[in-house]
Amino acid sequence: MSWHVWLAFFGASWVISLSPGAGAIASMSSGLAYGLRRGYWNIFGLQLGLLLQIGIVAAGVGAILASSTVAFSLIKWFGVAYLVYLGIRQWRSAPTEVETDEATASSSGPMMMLRGFLVNASNPKAVVFMLAVLPQFLDPSAPLLPQYLIIAATMCAVDVIVMTGYTGLAARVLTLMRSPKQQRTTNRVFAGLFFGAAGFLSSIGRAAA
């Protein structure tokens, strides 16, 4: 991959990561609930899901999702159900003490990582999107594996930075939300965002991909 191609992909990666989506909502939600330091578990989980998406495209499975109504629908509706579950969980989340040590947060790191992974892994639209975008930056006459490794490293590095920003912003909001009423309102706003993301995903058809 030449430098000018990589720079173009680097710029595209920022646009992709900064675009509001379920990953950004999950990052802000975890930052709001657990702070920045523990929020990295969610961020790492999101990157595992991102790597899975890139791997699916590299393996050619993305073409199956793009052409198979059944495969696309199964993954899509799993993603919708999971986002709804996250929304309900956020809505029912009880207010917490702002001064509580992040290390004593009730949700374990591995569980937060799993939730982050599932948010990205259950989005077939992202796989189809990558199937349409990534080949534009590949040189078919050169070995593909090194190019995909560069793409994966670039996308994950950019996404970690962006999701850290989203998480840190929400963690900063946490220090300002001291009353139970404020925290309940914020939790319900994020729950509404999860429900909105689920509704958007449910409206997507394979043909639109």
Cα angle: 28, vertex 31, 35; to 5 degrees: 170
Residue 203 covered by a domain: yes
- The answer as to whether 1 is a domain residue is no
Q: Is the pLDDT of residue 7 over 80?
A: yes
For residue 97, give the 3-state DSSP assignment: coil
Count of domains forming the chain: 1
Is residue 42 domain-resident? yes
Taking only the tens place, the pLDDT of each residue in 26-65 is 888 888 888 888 889 999 999 999 999 888 888 876 566 5
Mean pLDDT of 100-105: 44
Confidence of residue 9 (pLDDT cuts 50, 70, 90): confident
Residue 8, domain member (yes or no): no
Structure-model confidence comparison of residues 73 and 150, the more confident one? 150
Is 164 within a domain? yes
What phi, psi does 119 have (nearest 5°)? -60, -45
Q: How far is CA 57 from CA 7, 87, 205, in A?
A: 21, 29, 19
**Range in 1-5, 116-120, 147-151 the model is least confident about:** 1-5
Q: How far is CA 67 from the centre of its chain?
A: 24
**pLDDT digits 0-9 by tens, 164-203:** 998 888 887 766 655 667 667 767 777 787 787 677 667 7
Would 146 be classed as within a structural domain? yes
Q: What is the pLDDT of residue 102?
A: 44
Asked whether residue 175 is domain-assigned, the answer is yes
Domain of 136, in residue numbers: 22-208
